[in-house]
Structure 1
Amino acid sequence: MLWEWLAAIGWSAGSVAGGIALYRRVRFFSTVWGIITIAVVGLLSGVLHNFLNALFSIDEPFFFLLAIFGIGMTPILVAQWLFEGGFHLYRQWNTHGGTNRMPGMNDQTLYAEVNGIRIAYERGGAGYPLLLIHGYPETRRMWRQVADALTARFDVVSMDLRGYGDSDRPSDELSYDKRTMAEDAYGLATHLGWDKFLVAGHDRGGRTARRLAADHPESVVGATLLDILPLEWVYSQGADGYARRYWHWYFHLQRGLAERLINSDPSAYVNHLFARRGDVLDPENVAHYMEVFARPGSVDATLADYRTAFDVDRPRWTEEVAAGHKITVPLQILWGEYGNLNDEPTLDIWREVAEDVRGEVIPGSGHYIPEEQPEIAIRLINEFADELGL
């Protein structure tokens, strides 16, 4: 009969819509599981149809359709709640051992085998994927305040770069070029099942994020770069102010000498790097950075980061810029009022190497924006996501 066909069509449409809703909202579903979900819900709908038909004598098609829709949507909504809420809570508890240091983020170190090495990371929240990358001489811990708040909107992952934190420290110096480090980040995103994602990087993490945006514009929908200018531009400025501001860049190039001096007292060196703004940084974080920096292989790995930046990244970027290649991914540039960029036409400099640039100075902050002014960083990253329609 006509009403039976209408009921079947209506229920099938509801089943498909529910399945699609599950697939779109439950981000960790693969395409295969999305199809399976739709099939299972459709099968259950047929069982429910027969059950209602046998249980009730409903001759009026309108009321039959109403009953089918009302009762039929219940398992869909319950399933969505279970997968989107209950399973997510289970995943957070199970994956991280049931221990939360911060609401939303976890201090349980997770690992992914990507690009031939092991990368350490933390994960928290649910929503649009957001990758956070730290700077020197820090670790993923620098993002802890910002990451905590952003978990309300994003699926947040903060990673340790190769050579830093709990990630592997390859002995091959040339493996620390930013293209390789960007492939580490991209490999982690792929490992997590992310097709598209936002990235925010500070200092060395910003340079990795820049290369990631340049090499993978199909996946990176937007990049926030904190307190950096283009590497090749900085080196082109010579000693007129920049050798003083970035003195450690040149010191790190002195093979043998830099290793001996830094390894003689790693904590003193880290303290000196933080001296200008150390009074506003969390003492526990600083102690953590010192401990990690003193681990075997840390000094060699981080020096390799800077040396490869000079030997490989600098000429590579110079060649690409000279050839007219510009980053097409939208960039958000943030820099501290008391950092190294505030005397420069920062946005104009970035517009020479990227097509879509916006940004602003962060009042009251020096170089370490996520730790000095976390609330402003949180707000601006959220506004950037709003602008991108995420």
Structure 2
Amino acid sequence: MTAKIPGFDYRRVTVAVGVALNAAVGGSGSPVVLLHGFPQTHLMWRHVAADLAADHTVICPDLRGYGDSDKPVDHDGRTYAKRAMAADVVELARALGHERFALAGHDRGALVAIRAGLDHPDAVTRLALLDVLPTLDTWDVLRGTSAAVAFHLYLMAQPVGLPEQLIAGAPDAFFGYFLDMWTNDPAAIPDDVRAAYLRASREAIPSIVADYRASATIDVEHDTADRQSGNRLRMPVAVLQQDWGSALGFDAAARWRAWAPDLRHTTVSCGHFMAEESPAQVTEALRDLFAE
């Protein structure tokens, strides 16, 4: 049986032709949409969502291509563009009765959230981003031996065929590697949740690879156009990030400020899966942002 967030209702909402998202919805009050990362599902928000539901309507979808949401075949390299995935999120909120909403994203979900903020500034009121850099900046800072930490970005950027075949050969080893290496506290992802993540990832290999491949192709085109035109995130933005800068040799806050003039940048000490490892700190940061 698919793991769920206790106390939340589950809905299947059509957001585009041939695409319906699985979404957990709970609480009442001003709307907040929470987007998960890799290799996770909406379950990564289980602690934070339960807390926020005390005074917010909290919407936690599985992204297009992940979890129990639809996984359309990528025929043209654009199906998993963050622009398409961001449009899913805006349509999901609208279908649930919310024209404007606060948005938080982790990892892959943060990239979708950034694109939603750039493309739909009238819909996104506040934006919180967990442990990621914008796509262009990610590629800019990865160089030399330090880029080995992001080997999966290069693997899944390859043309259709090889990445999918290699990952399918040992999916639990591949996806489990990230759950192990990126977690400071293994107890933060209990066995049942880990099993749910691995099951969902095994069933989504082509779409997960397509999502990553888009970030080396069409997403770069879209982000480059924004950088050149001066399009920026107009809403207040909060970023929680591990101390990547000192480890990889760049000023993370400065890179974020180029995209988000109204920025709060915080360095945290937990692992990558901070909504599971340090949910109280994440919830506090979100509440501070949403209360402004």
Q: Of 160, 174, 182, which aligns to 2:62?
A: 160
The structural deviation recorded for 1:234 is 1.4
Runs of 4+ in 1 over 3 A off after TM superposition: 340-344
1:312 aligns with 2:215: no
| Cα 1:285–1:342 shift into 2, 3 Å | farther
The structural deviation recorded for 1:242 is 4.8
1:293 is matched with 201
1:385 aligns with 2:290: yes
Q: Of 251, 254, 259, which aligns to 1:348?
A: 254
1:82 is matched with none
* 1:255-292: CA deviation from partner (whole Å, max 9, x where unpaired): 32211111112111111112221724222211100111
2:41 is matched with 139
2-structure distance, mates of 1:129, 1:307: 31
| Cα 1:170–1:186 shift into 2, 3 Å | same
Which amino acid in structure 1 is aligned with residue 148 of structure 2? Answer: R
2-structure distance, mates of 1:319, 1:268: 37
1:15 is matched with none
1-structure distance, mates of 2:5, 2:11: 15
Kindly indicate whether structure 1 or structure 2 has the higher relative contact order, using CA contacts under 8 Å at least 6 residues apart. Answer: 2
TM-score by length of 2: 0.91
| Cα 1:300–1:239 shift into 2, 3 Å | same
Structure 1 residue matching 2:148: 3-state secondary structure: helix
1:270 aligns with 2:175: yes
Point out the structure with max Rg over C-alpha. 1
2-structure distance, mates of 1:242, 1:163: 29
2-structure distance, mates of 1:319, 1:341: 26
* 1:148-187: CA deviation from partner (whole Å, max 9, x where unpaired): 1110111001001000001000002421000000000000
Answer whether contact 1:228 1:341 (CA < 8 A) is retained: no
Answer whether contact 2:5 2:43 (CA < 8 A) is retained: no
TM-score by length of 1: 0.69
Count the aligned residue pairs: 280
Answer whether contact 2:33 2:59 (CA < 8 A) is retained: yes
2:131 is matched with 227
Worse-superposed segment, 273-282 or 133-142? 273-282
Matches within 5 A, 1:318-357: 318-337=224-243, 340=244, 343=247, 344-357=250-263
Matches within 5 A, 1:107-186: 108-116=9-17, 117-172=19-74, 173-186=77-90
User: Which structure: greater helix fraction?
Assistant: 1
Answer whether contact 1:227 1:341 (CA < 8 A) is retained: no
1-structure distance, mates of 2:5, 2:113: 27
Structure 1 residue matching 2:216: 3-state secondary structure: helix
| Cα 1:299–1:342 shift into 2, 3 Å | farther
The structural deviation recorded for 1:135 is 0.5
2-structure distance, mates of 1:257, 1:214: 33
Which amino acid in structure 2 is aligned with residue 283 of structure 1? Answer: D
1:192 aligns with 2:93: no
Segments of structure 2 that go 5 or more residues without pairing to the other structure are none
Answer whether contact 1:342 1:361 (CA < 8 A) is retained: no
1-structure distance, mates of 2:119, 2:153: 25
The structural deviation recorded for 1:326 is 1.5
Which amino acid in structure 1 is aligned with residue 273 of structure 2? Answer: Y
The structural deviation recorded for 1:316 is 1.7
User: Which structure: greater strand fraction?
Assistant: 2
Answer whether contact 2:5 2:24 (CA < 8 A) is retained: no
2:122 is matched with 218
Structure 2 residue matching 1:114: 3-state secondary structure: strand
Aligned-residue identity in percent: 32
2-structure distance, mates of 1:123, 1:214: 25
Segments of structure 1 that go 5 or more residues without pairing to the other structure are 1-99
